[in-house]
A and B are shown apart, each in its own frame.
Chain A
């Protein structure tokens, strides 16, 4: 569909006939736009391509037409990397579950409770994601050292949970607003208590949405970096931080590239899960990444 077309009464009609000057300019313009968009798309996927190529060639002197491909660099990934990788998966899973357990009832209460402090609470949980991660990481370090939470599973999990709250509550609020309150009132009038209503009526209706929210939160936790850089320690190192420390101290290593490539595969798998199981529309409003 070209930019030159216009919609009239649901049918597509060319809005100007013949090859006038405007039509030619419009065709040229949309062609240029298409080329530009293709170029940008290529530029956007280049990190994945480069990392995958380098990991398969086992060297960083990569060529676009590889002579030999091997999985050697994957086999060389040291155990400490896998430990970090599984640690990251576990802590992300834990933080996601805790965030959902806290946020889903809270989101329901914010919508149905008609509390006067609703706006205050919504803004309060937004604070951790509005403040730059660098600053929050430094501030948390100042708090966690006296509490001895630095370099602990619990400390990292609490920090990640705090970051996830806003997203989880927003998601829940939007889901609950899509459920007619009459369902809950009907159950209540039949004698169900508020908690029973929540468990047997609300939760089953919003379950699918909650799972999708959980997936996004999990992915965000997996790539969190700056905030964890300050509060993590030698015994609790997420994989992104281990890769970072290695590149700073020892330079680019083939097995580190292979590990980075594993992270690319995780992202690809996540995209495939969300896009093909739930549909691509969920990816449009994907949350802003908290990189740095």
Chain B
């Protein structure tokens, strides 16, 4: 019985086996002599490998069709003008458009604020959830169920909470005498910040809990046992160990805010703050696909670049 276990050896040997396996099958292979045992086994191994490759083929094809081909087309077409000639005009037009550039800046500001805020707010909750099993089971529904709601539902809730006259928050504050007139923050940037802050908090809490659970609590106990105070032990031991996870979760929050579409449209006022609705308008109302593709490339580089850059800096200079 030959298993495929042998293939883990050095690549050159494996390659030689594979090549000899193929030649053994060829009709005109030298002299039609008897196949040796090793030739038969390598032939069988290459057949097995073909079988496994065929099993992964549908997944590869779907990934190509859903991601690689459309994204390749997107990048390619962003360099074409309406007649199909190669040009940089789409990028030039985006970068010189004052509305696009101003919105890009406010988007980045919003995304950075939300990322920092939600990471800072989520970290203590994640710490408690990671360290206390019983509390974790109590808090789990509150942290998990919001992730299973469409963002539209969150939008409805934010509107019901913040609406100027009928919103819960305004009525509560007016009844308590904190404010005299209703706050008109819903269709302005504070409303957006609250909605994004909510979703960022949900994402960051879930991810940071996983990160903190992977840090051995005994490390912190050891530091305390050696005389450090609780706070010092936390800042010197636990926090540095979680920095890569914090950057990863921050990157996901950042990306989700930069490319968020439904919340900005639902809560938008006259001035657009976020970039995604602008791209959608270019695409759907103006019908200028190539310009929208160029804007999409810019936003992609921006949203993924922040995360990748942070990871790179960390890899390069993080460990001294």
A residues engaging B (CB < 8 A)? 1, 3-4, 6-7, 15, 22, 26, 29, 33-34, 36-37, 40-41, 43-48, 50-51, 54, 60-64, 102-103, 105-106, 108-110, 112-116, 121, 124-125, 127-128, 130-136, 138-143, 158-159, 161-163, 165, 169, 181, 185, 188-189, 194, 219, 222-223, 225-226, 229-230, 239-240, 243-244, 247-248, 252, 256-257, 260, 263-264, 266-268, 270-271, 275, 280, 283-286, 288-289, 291-292
Write out the residue numbers on chain B whose beta carbons fall within 8 Å of the beta carbon of A114: 4, 7-8
Q: Please name 26 pairs of A and B residues whose Cβ atoms are closer than 8 Å in the assembled complex, sorted by A.
A: A37-B124, A40-B201, A43-B198, A46-B157, A47-B157, A51-B156, A128-B63, A130-B304, A135-B300, A138-B74, A138-B296, A140-B66, A159-B66, A163-B66, A194-B48, A194-B51, A223-B149, A229-B261, A240-B150, A244-B152, A247-B152, A264-B149, A271-B144, A291-B147, A291-B199, A292-B151
Give the residue name and chain of the B residue nearest to A246 (CB): B152
What's the minimum C-beta distance from A124 to chain B, rounded to whole angstroms? 5
Contact B230 A142 (CB under 8 A): no
Given A142-B73, A159-B66, 14 more contacts at CB 8 Å?
A: A61-B166, A110-B52, A125-B59, A128-B67, A134-B261, A135-B74, A135-B300, A136-B67, A143-B69, A169-B59, A248-B266, A275-B141, A292-B261, A292-B263
Contact A226 B149 (CB under 8 A): no
A248 to B51, CA, bound (A): 51
Write out the residue numbers on chain B whose beta carbons fall within 8 Å of the beta carbon of A280: 137, 140
B residues engaging A (CB < 8 A)? 1, 3-4, 7-8, 11, 48-49, 51-53, 55-56, 58-60, 62-71, 73-74, 77, 121-122, 124-125, 128, 132, 135-137, 139-161, 163, 166, 168, 171, 198-199, 201-203, 205-207, 209-210, 213, 221, 224-225, 229-230, 252, 255-256, 258-263, 265-266, 276, 279-280, 283, 289, 292-293, 296, 299-300, 303-304
Give the residue name and chain of the A residue nearest to B225 (CB): A6
A226 to B213, CA, bound (A): 31
Give the residue name and chain of the A residue nearest to B268 (CB): A248
Give the residue name and chain of the A residue nearest to B61 (CB): A102
What's the minimum C-beta distance from A34 to chain B, rounded to whole angstroms? 8
Q: Enumerate the 3 nearest inter-chain pairs by beta-carbon distance, A residue then B residue, closest first.
A: A162-B66, A113-B52, A47-B157
Contact B68 A124 (CB under 8 A): yes
Contact B148 A109 (CB under 8 A): no
A240 to B266, CA, bound (A): 13
A169 to B66, CA, bound (A): 16
What's the minimum C-beta distance from B47 to chain A, rounded to whole angstroms? 10
A60 to B156, CA, bound (A): 10
What's the minimum C-beta distance from B223 to chain A, rounded to whole angstroms? 11
A105 to B58, CA, bound (A): 10
Write out the residue numbers on chain B whose beta carbons fall within 8 Å of the beta carbon of A257: 156, 160
> With A47-B198, A134-B261 as given contacts, are A139 and B73 in contact (CB-CB < 8 Å)?
yes
Write out the residue numbers on chain B whose beta carbons fall within 8 Å of the beta carbon of A34: 128
Contact B299 A106 (CB under 8 A): no
B207 CB contact (under 8 Å) in A162, A165, A288? A288
What's the minimum C-beta distance from A49 to chain B, rounded to whole angstroms? 8
Contact B224 A140 (CB under 8 A): no
Write out the residue numbers on chain B whose beta carbons fall within 8 Å of the beta carbon of A132: 255-256, 258-259, 299-300, 303-304
A124 to B259, CA, bound (A): 22
A179 to B204, CA, bound (A): 32
What's the minimum C-beta distance from A261 to chain B, rounded to whole angstroms? 8
Write out the residue numbers on chain B whose beta carbons fall within 8 Å of the beta carbon of A124: 60, 63-64, 67-68
> With A134-B299, A286-B147 as given contacts, are A292 and B153 in contact (CB-CB < 8 Å)?
no
Contact B283 A141 (CB under 8 A): yes
Write out the residue numbers on chain A whose beta carbons fall within 8 Å of the beta carbon of B280: 230
Give the residue name and chain of the B residue nearest to A145 (CB): B289
A291 to B151, CA, bound (A): 6
Point out which of B52, B136, B155 has the most chain A C-beta atoms below 10 A from its C-beta.
Answer: B52
Contact A44 B56 (CB under 8 A): no
Give the residue name and chain of the B residue nearest to A32 (CB): B124
Give the residue name and chain of the A residue nearest to B224 (CB): A6
Point out which of A22, A247, A268 has the most chain B C-beta atoms below 10 A from its C-beta.
Answer: A247
Give the residue name and chain of the B residue nearest to A223 (CB): B150
A27 to B248, CA, bound (A): 32
Give the residue name and chain of the A residue nearest to B159 (CB): A252
What's the minimum C-beta distance from A207 to chain B, rounded to whole angstroms? 18
What's the minimum C-beta distance from A33 to chain B, rounded to whole angstroms? 6
Contact A135 B296 (CB under 8 A): yes
Contact A135 B259 (CB under 8 A): yes
A189 to B33, CA, bound (A): 29
Give the residue name and chain of the B residue nearest to A61 (CB): B166
Give the residue name and chain of the B residue nearest to A103 (CB): B59
A33 to B153, CA, bound (A): 29
Write out the residue numbers on chain A whose beta carbons fall within 8 Å of the beta carbon of B48: 113, 194
Contact A115 B49 (CB under 8 A): yes
A106 CB contact (under 8 Å) in B58, B69, B121? B58
Contact A264 B296 (CB under 8 A): no
Contact A50 B157 (CB under 8 A): yes
